[in-house]
Structure 1
Amino acid sequence: VATNNSRVDEPAGRIDTKAKKDSVITNLFRGGRNTLFSQTASFSYTLPLAKIPALDFVTANIKYQATYKWIGASRLAVNLGNFLENGQQKEGTVQMDFNRLYQKSKLLRQLDVPSNIEDRDRWRNRYSKVTDSVTNKLGKRVLRTRKILNKNAMPYVSTPLKVFGKLLTSLKQANISVGELGSTRLPGYTDSTQYLGQNFKSMAPGFDFILGKQVDSNWLNRKAAKGLITKDSSFNYLFQQNYDQTITASATLEPVRDLNITVNIKKSFSKNYTETFRFIDTTGGTNQKFMHLTPYSTGGFDVSYIAFKTLFGKFDPNRVSETFKTFQNNRVVLSRRLGKDNPYTQAQPGRGLQADGYYYGYGKYAVDVLIPSFIAAYTGQNPENVSLIKQTDGRTKTNPFRSILPKPNWNISYNGLTKIKGMEKIFNSFNVSHAYNGSLSMNGFTSALLYQDVSRFGYPSFYDTVSKAFIPFFLVPNVSIQEQFSPLLGFDMQFTNQFQAKFEYAKSRTLSLSLYDYQLSEQRSTEFSIGAGYRKRGLKAPFGLKLPKFLGGKKTLENEISFRMDYRIRDNVTANSRLDQDNNFATGGSREITITPTIDYFLSNRVNLKFYFDQRKVKPYISSSAPTTNTRAGVQVRISLAQ
């Protein structure tokens, strides 16, 4: 799809001469002056796996979309050039239905079929003996016995084999999705556009750019060498590139009947790059060239992660935790690992291992030391094995945290308790649930303008005398770990007598390490909630009393009435810790108690009456805040006018 906007320019003043009129007519028949050309091309393809019997359980799709824009320069600043923009979106998805794969096996199909003694005997006797009279090579009649297989006999699967088979075939579905977004904005482009956004005289900008290719500095240099980039001395626009990558995967498992497990992982990465690509005349005409000035990158990184190994330890907001002490001790180990890898650490006398136990350039507050030390301590990893940060490549697609791999999160539910003999007489449904979600993120990182790698070893070489550390390629302001068991354990019960009950116990933690002031903020939350409900039709008024007239004026409620009571206790506390300071202090937190009883009654199919009470008590854990109690109570009348 392509769209071109153009404008028919008119001469200044009134159109009252033949020359002016001819100019307007000529511009009109030429199609005017192009001001905006935009184009979108898309492609999608589904792999023909359905035609392959062994792979028909897999569905795979690929998609590609390219966008392109040419934006004409303002008439007031023609010398500054036009704008070129392009973008690309790539996506690939794979869906696997393993149930369909398992159905290809006669044996695996029997895992879900109840077996009995008759099935076992039928399977054991699937071969029958048949005696025939045949003529041998000597012309004599002889008897021959052969076995005949009953092809309709289904395999018999014993109970132990079924359990083992269920575990082997517990994976039911799996989905994988990978997506990339990229865009480029180039100012100062001096060429025009024709068909398909291409100028066929200069063959610029090229079909690769039109179809979404994300260009590099070499491409810019070639266009500048052809005279396609403005040389105006007042040009100061930024060349911009953006990149986003998202990877998600999920799997559904059912190791036993009614036990459902969903596992998922995710990873997202984004980077924005800018530079000033302009013509420079530094010596009055003898040293004229295009230069890439002020390169600058920003970005963010987020992965699903697991950190609960340190969640259940003792925690006192006013005392330094053992995990934080481990974090501090890990720094020496990471400094040694980084110092031995970086050749600049040993390049001159006086470098190498310092008197404080840290290696030159990798002191206790170096970013490359703090990040893996923090991750190792709060996720329970060995500091000798935790991944290091590789920050030596400024390309837009390069992820400096690619060594940090995503880890699975999960959701588990089981609703098979009612299948136990006798339980069905008590419960209509009984669901047990458990879920964990965790993430590790580093957002807002920026490229360091003082980074140097003078010998191109792939390691930082510029030593900052203030921080006593090598300046890394990227500066990371903050590292965050978030995790929650929501719930850690939950029960949801529906009784046969219309009674309902619900119980949930949840825990969560948020860790935020500032790499500017070397302070860790830790917020913990524990929540306990109980809910109960009851529904009844034909409820009688107590003591033989009559109900109010608006409820019918009778002794019995004709419609259904619902009672509900929810009670929740939530403890949350926030504590701050500073590196190399033996103190810890609470900065916030409270205990919240909430009680919400409600009564719902349908006067008719259009009118609903609700009595409610909602009370929330908050008791702060710090003296700077006062306890509060909020109470709401009342009656709600809902009238439905829908047909």
Structure 2
Amino acid sequence: MGFRTELTRNYREITLRNINSFGSTITPTVSKDFLWNRNYELSYDLTRSIKIDFTASNLARIDEPEDIEVVNRYMKSEYEKWKDAVWKEITRFGRTTQYFHDINLTYTLPLNKIPLLDWTSSSIRYTGSYTWDAAPINEYNIGNSIKNSNTLQLNGQFTLTTLYNKVAYFKRLLQPVNVKNQQKKKTKKVMYDRSNMVLRAGEPRVIFHKLSTEEVVVKFFDGENKEIKGKNEIVNENKISFTPDSSYNNVRVLIEGTVEVSPNPIIIFFEHTTRALLGLKNVSFSYSRTQGTLLPGYTPKTSILGMIKEEGMFAPGLPFILGFQDKDIARKAATEYGWITTSTYQNNPFLLTHNETFNGRANFEPIPGLKIELTALRTYTRNESSYYIAEADGTFPDSTRGYMRNGNFSMSFIAFGSAFEKFTRESYENSPAFEKFKSYRYKIIDRLAGNRDNAIPGYDPDTDVDGNPLVNGTKNGYNEYSQQVLIPAFMAAYGGSDPDNIKLSNIPSYLNIRPNWRITFDGLSKIEFVKKYTRNVNINHSYRATYNIGNYLSNPDFYIDYDLESGLSFMRDLQNNFLGPVEINSVSINEQFGPLLNVDITWKNSLLTRFEYRKSRNIVLSLSSYQITETSNNDIVIGSGYKFKDVQFIVKSGDGQRSFKSDLNLTADVSIRDNKVIVRKLDGDPQAAQGKMPYP
């Protein structure tokens, strides 16, 4: 807990002299400020997992009497009057000009305390803020302004390796393989036993034991089970020869061998597949949502925690000062609570903001040395503004006026399928993705018209507003240039999706997120043949793409007839297309292979070799000019260098000189870049807008 207060008074008096008229006096110019700032802090741990932090600041002004401009203690009557007024203001803690507080609540979920869930961790953080700003002092009474905001953050992490280790079989598979144990082959004992044999002195006797090994121990026994002496010869892995020193009857031969056990290929395949699936090591995510409200024309003052009691209730209410957003707060404050000024000079808008950000990440290592990092992203911003101003007679309308909504959108995407189209002088006119885009429009038209036909009785998709039959694949209210048609067709064509299943919303949902990736591989450095010539071999590949809506704006003519409960608008544009809820000027796909392929080699002789191929493109669909502008870049970098080991450096300093050793890398790169810009029009031929190929 903490409290800090600060009183600041600034007083400046300037008196000018008229040097041409000694008898005249000029009224002094006075500038004065008397400020009182108070700051509060409170931190409290409700439990080990729940923590609360509260900070507040109150900015107040000590108002001085307006009729006393010059403060002079020698003018006793005026000075006493000024002092009484100032002390009275101080006892009332001054006139608040701004109040602000911030509340942070952090909750760490105790999942790691549960044995079955100790591989997970998660936390929730809520931040709420509230600000009250005083109105300027004038006769117009435009009211104060209040605003709030809240941020909800969710974080989660899943350490899957800890989960796998709970299963003994998985734990064994994930243990590092010892090289010696890996080289040590599994074997088993085999035996050949035969009796009632006859041996002649000095005559070799061949035994076909068929044990498939030359690692054998051969023993011959007589009828009394005594070992017979002689000369053994291993002919091959299935045959031996024995020459006894004497002759024997009723002889027994015992051959024991060791053979290598070949592992079951099915088991090997299963274990390698399982080990690859267990390569998913870690998954994490974060979600953040921020909302805010700005309400101008607010007449109540501030007292406790930025609230004040008005007609039996605290204004603006506990939920508002905690940061919660109420989209209907302007109407309630004006018509139900009487908190909004009736002055027509108040012309500031009522604002609502909403921001969402999602990030996901996963680390995958299917085989040693191969690391794959998957990432996902989605950001969405919405800003709403409207006016709630009293009429001339002091009454308020039933709803806000001048509603407007705008924002932007971005999410991770995959356009890999169309990334390698050729853009040569001869082939740039033919783009399979663009041709798909044009053909997909008609499938989207059929879906949109079918949805409206199922929802609205009497709607005929095959005739226009005048009852004339439609041709060329268009439907009633949907042609090939409609915004509601172009955007889903664009996403399906360049994203490789099925136009019959893609979502028809202009703002994609979380289900449309696609992962990006980064791949690194250093396993070649562990191959014996490669190790003979190199020290390190690193291969990298990265892919990143985003689908973006630069800005969208609510359509003022969009209207839904709620009586029909269809959720569809009947308003049309100049082309007789049904209007959507928002107007979007352009959408784009930004794609980067950074790099498509990168190979870095450090040779045994310290020579460095580098090759890198980068590729990127930006595809912009203009919904006003009905064209796609595609900008592509291709970069090739070839480099070489040398690493000088333990180079000695001498650095001079104030107390002498010091010697340091460090590796020195000298590199030289050559790069080639090819840029092209192609404009593809829906109602015209493609054009090569610009392009160049600079060399270093």
Give the TM-score normalised by structure 2. 0.71
Alpha-carbon distance change, 427 to 179 in structure 1, aligned in 2, over 3 angstroms: same
Is 1:513 equivalent to 2:567 in the alignment?
no
CA distance in 2, matches of 1:360, 1:403: 31
Is 2:112–2:118's contact at 8 Å kept on the other side of the alignment? Answer: yes
Cα contact 1:85–1:183 (8 A) shared by 2 = yes
CA contact (8 A) 1:279 1:290 kept: no
Equivalent residue for 1:386? 502
Unaligned runs of 5+ in 2: 1-54, 72-76, 189-263, 648-660
TM score, norm. by length of structure 1: 0.77
- 1:436-475 counterparts in 2 under 5 A? 436-454=543-561, 455-464=564-573, 466-475=574-583
> Which residue does the alignment assign to 1:490?
598
> How do 1:136-285 residues align onto structure 2 when only pairs under 5 Å count?
159-201=268-310, 202-217=313-328, 220-281=331-392
Aligned partners of 2:150 and 2:369: how far apart in 1?
A: 43
Alignment of 1:227-626 (within 5 A): 227-281=338-392, 289=397, 291-316=399-424, 319-342=429-452, 343=455, 346-347=458-459, 350-351=464-465, 354-389=470-505, 400-402=507-509, 405-454=512-561, 455-464=564-573, 466-536=574-644, 563-581=666-684, 583-594=685-696
How far, CA to CA, are the matches of 2:269 and 2:65 in structure 1?
92
CA distance in 2, matches of 1:288, 1:49: 51
Question: Radius of gyration: which is bigger?
Answer: 2
Q: Distance in 1 between matches of 2:646 and 2:459?
A: 89
Structure 2 Cα separation of the partners of residues 481 and 277 of structure 1: 39
Contact 2:333 2:340 in 1 (8 A): no
Q: Specify the alignment match of 1:130 in structure 2.
A: none
Distance 1:288 1:244, change over 3 A: closer
- Aligned with 1:462: secondary structure? coil
- 1:45 alignment partner AA: Y
Instruction: Give the RMSD, CA atoms, in angstroms.
Output: 2.8
Separation (CA, whole Å) in 2 of partners of 1:537 and 1:380? 50
**Cα deviation code 1:498-545 (max 9, x no counterpart):** 011111122221100111111211011222111111235799xxxxxx
1:432–1:490 Cα contact (<8 Å) kept: yes
Cα distance change of structure 1 residues 22 and 267 upon mapping to structure 2, 3 Å threshold: same
Mark the CA change 1:121 to 1:68 in structure 2 (over 3 Å): closer, same or farther: farther
> Is contact 1:345–1:359 with CA below 8 Å preserved after alignment?
no
Shift in Å at residue 203 of structure 1? 0.9
Q: Report the equivalent of 2:52.
A: none
Give the match for residue 144 of structure 1: none
Rate the CA distance shift 1:292–1:418 in 2: closer, same or farther, 3 A.
Answer: same
Q: Give the match's secondary structure for 2:480.
A: coil
Q: Deviations over 1:365-411 (max 9, x none)?
A: 11101101111122222222221016xxxxxxxxx432761101011
The equivalent of 1:113 in structure 2 is: 177
Q: Structure 1: any 5+ residue segments left out of the alignment?
A: 123-155, 391-399, 540-557, 595-643
Q: Identify the residue that residue 4 of structure 1 maps to in structure 2.
A: 58
Match of 1:250, as an amino acid? R
The whole-number CA distance in structure 1 between the counterparts of 2:120 and 2:89 is: 57
Alpha carbons 1:320, 1:577 under 8 Å: kept = no
Change (3 A) 1:170 1:559: closer
Corresponding residue for 1:56? 118
CA contact (8 A) 1:279 1:291 kept: no
SS in 2 for 1:278: coil
Q: Decide whether the 8 Å contact of 1:344 with 1:461 is kept in 2.
A: no
1:512 aligned partner, one-letter code: V
Q: Deviations over 1:244-271 (max 9, x none)?
A: 1011111001111111010111111001
Question: Could you tell me which residue of structure 1 aligns to residue 95 of structure 2?
Answer: 33
Deviations 1:444-469 (A, max 9, x none): 100011111234521121012x2321
Residues of 2 paired with 1:91 and 1:448: CA distance? 31
Q: Does the residue aligned with 2:505 lie in a helix, a strand or coil?
A: coil
1:280-313 deviations in Å (ceiling 9; x for gaps)? 25xx68x754540000011111010001111222
Match of 1:153 in 2: none
Query: Aligned with 2:694: secondary structure?
Result: strand
Alignment check: 8 A CA contact 2:334 2:396 kept: no
**Cα distance between partner residues in 1 of 2:109 and 2:490:** 44
> Which whole-Å CA distance do the structure 2 matches of 1:446 and 1:203 have between them?
36
Structure 1 residues 334-389: Cα deviation after superposition (integer angstroms, max 9, x where no partner): 11211121256953774486234211211121110110111112222222222101
Deviation at 1:216, TM superposition (A): 1.1
